[in-house]
Amino acid sequence: MGPAGVTPNLSLFQSLADYGKVDIWFVLPQYVNELGQAPEILPKLRSSKLMAVAGEGFLTGNLIVDRDNFLYFAFHPYSGFDFREVEPGVYEHWVVRNEKWSLFQGIFHTFPDAQEINLKDLYAKHPTKPDHWLYWGRSDDIIALADGIKISPSHVEATISAHPSVNECLMVGTGQKFPALLVELNDPKPSDPTALEQLLATIQRQIQKADNSSLYRGYLHNDCIILADPKRPFVRTDKLTVKRQQTLTLYQQDIERFYVSRGDEAGWAF
């Protein structure tokens, strides 16, 4: 924090760099952008260890990655991140303590007795670039089917939720032969049978798209949709994200009836 009552500007940065012996800076992104255009001040910051930014958007300059890599993360090695394969092509995110990197491992100040921590986030590898990771979901949301296959639902759910008539989608099916999709529509389902059939057909095409891009192609079936009741909206947090377990509890009987009605038949795959 700078001196009280002084407006932050480049002159203040220069004075702090000259006399403050600052090891770690924590500033708004706008000042980093200004510093990038102040070659007379930048050399004074070389003795500092770290500059962190937060609070607003940050201009990244001209170092734009390829569009195909926009969704991938490349983590700094000092983070101590370790990705452990839990299913073919799916890796769980761990943090491993390294005393040489303690400055970059703040989580171990919160958990001082831990040597490694499972963050329970799942990632998939980039097909060609090493150490590039695509977020795949959470291990505590995994759907474990009766045959032992474990499916991360986030990619499928996001694909189905992209349908213009779908508000949200949750995959269910732990312990079952095949997964089902609990679908919350933006509007009440059509009362006209023909209109409903047409709507379901368009959602099924979205399901096929999700199945074609899934690591476990063939596990999504054409007849796997459970439409949510508008009188029972999905349970959400204050940030409007879905509370998975509470919502599944709300629809537990509907899910059970769905699988009972299917009996031993698994429907037909795309």
CATH number at residue 161: 3.30.300.30
Residues 74 and 16 in one domain: no
Let me know whether 27 and 108 are in one domain.
Answer: no
- Domain-ending residue, one of 140, 156, 182: 140
Residue 269 within a domain: no
Phi, psi of 89 (to 5 degrees): 85, 0
Residue 108: per-residue pLDDT: 92
Establish if 241 belongs to a structural domain. Answer: yes
Same domain, 44 and 106: no
Q: What residues pair up with 125 in beta bridges, in sequence order?
A: 133
Which residues have CB under 8 Å from 184's CB, separation 6+? 166, 167, 168, 169, 228, 233, 234
| Helix, strand or coil, per DSSP, at residue 232 | coil
Residue 269: per-residue pLDDT: 46
What domain count does the chain have?
3
Whether residue 267 lies inside any domain: the answer is no
Domain enclosing residue 33, as ranges: 10-53
Do 39 and 108 lie in a common domain?
no
Domain boundary among 81, 113, 140: 140
- Cα–Cα nearest to 156, from 219, 198, 73, 240: 219
d(CA 108, CA 95): 9
Same domain, 114 and 135: yes
In a shared domain, residues 109 and 47: no
Q: What is the pLDDT of residue 217?
A: 77
Residues 132 and 164 in one domain: no
| pLDDT for residue 268 | 45
Domain identity same for 217 and 169: yes
Residues 165, 199 contacting (CB under 8 angstroms)? yes
pTM of the model: 0.58
In degrees and rounded to multiples of 5, residue 159 shows phi and psi of -65, -45
pLDDT score of 202: 95
Inside any domain, residue 58: no
Q: Note whether 45 and 83 are same-domain residues.
A: no
Rounded CA-CA distance 155/137 in Å is 7
The backbone region for 125, taken as left when phi is positive above 0, alpha when psi lies in -120 to 50, beta otherwise, is: beta
Considering the domain boundaries, does residue 1 fall inside one? no
The answer to whether position 87 is within a domain reads yes
Residue 38 domain-assigned (yes or no): yes
Is residue 4 included in any domain, yes or no? Answer: no
At residue 62, the pLDDT reads 55
Q: Which residues of the chain have pLDDT under 70?
A: 1-3, 56-65, 214-216, 264-270
